[in-house]
A = this chain, B = another copy of it.
């Protein structure tokens, strides 16, 4: 709206990309200046800096020296605009504060870095709209590929990625109806081992704190639990299942609900680490001693779980592999291939939280003996 006449005088009228800061205009070094200092054309300078072999040793040297002298940093936006490659990947996780996803982010980021990509990390906060917002941002920034641990079940703006044929890989969770390569965990084995292990300790009523049924992991793990319980001949009382949302608070709520049953469980299985944290916290408050009064097993092998007293039994799966393989698959998609999805194994690690038989009595596989609550 300013109408003050501006003099278009004898300034450097050639290259003026100003970054203003505290009122002072700072000129960034461009390839033009590098070329000038080296005494070559812009095209030649570009060739040298991008490693194009069609250059003489002499110019290579002079351009490199000029770039170093001026501390030249190429404008990544201009590069990306022209070359349609941004050398950046998007990584979208439901929650960075969840140690599982923090580890995943770390693993993926390191793998991406060694492949020459920077990672834009986005946080969906377990909210579909925030995920969609980030996905649009990633489309706008023309990232070369995206790795998503999806929130919700409808795909949302993931479909926009697919339409645009943006290379995309799903990780940890899948979305029904979306045909994308993925890296997931086969929860079946780990959960069956956990249930069998608890049955061997004499437990007949296992409480299950489930993930939300709007996620693939929530459904898969719940189905695996149901099957395992049936196979082991344990109680299939539907009251023993509480549906949480993968956040700590719902782990607490789950324990509350399960322990108020007239016939409460003697063992608990939590479908992720955060809900396990919530469960532990409330069990402490309720005065229940883990590993003695009640057994507890958690999905996700978090370093800290081994430090608890008693140490927590967990169903482990390798988050490092998951992150690394996700990047590998993504690089393949970027290269124009159509890689197969990868399913990683899970396995039970028994520690003190579930190692002690609560009721040392023989298991009666056929007859379900009514047991009084131990209030």
Contact = CB atoms under 8 A, between A and B. Distances in A.
A302 to B, nearest CB: 9
Contacts of A281: 306-307
Given A86-B77, A140-B74, A141-B76, A106 B110 contact: no
Contacts of A84: 17-19
A163 to B, nearest CB: 8
Contact of A166 (B19, B96, B106): B19
Contacts of A277: 303-304, 307
B74 A77 contact: no
Contacts of A47: none
A80 to B, nearest CB: 5
A139 interface: yes
A142 interface: yes
Interface string A1-42: 000000000000000011111111010100000000000000
A105 interface: yes
Interface of A: 17-24, 26, 28, 71, 73-78, 80-81, 84, 86, 95-97, 99, 102-103, 105-106, 109-110, 118-123, 125, 134, 136-137, 139-142, 160, 163-167, 248, 277, 280-281, 284, 303-304, 306-310, 333, 336-338
B20 A73 contact: no
How many chain copies?
2
A95 B303 CA distance: 15
Contact of A23 (B21, B105, B336): B336
A192 to B, nearest CB: 28
Contact of A71 (B26, B160, B337): B160
Q: Which 7 A-B pairs have the closest CB atoms?
A: A21-B165, A121-B121, A76-B140, A309-B309, A77-B77, A77-B81, A26-B165
Nearest to A248: B303
A97 B118 CA distance: 18
Nearest to A26: B165
A81 B71 contact: no
5 contacts: A21-B333, A77-B141, A96-B106, A105-B121, A309-B309
Given A73-B136, A281-B307, A20 B336 contact: yes
Contacts of A105: 96, 121
A21 B122 CA distance: 24
A103 B110 contact: no
Contacts of A307: 277, 280-281, 284, 308
Contact of A75 (B121, B140, B164): B140
A25 to B, nearest CB: 9
Contact of A119 (B73, B121, B142, B284): B121
A304 B120 CA distance: 27
A21 B167 contact: yes
A73 B140 contact: yes
A115 to B, nearest CB: 14
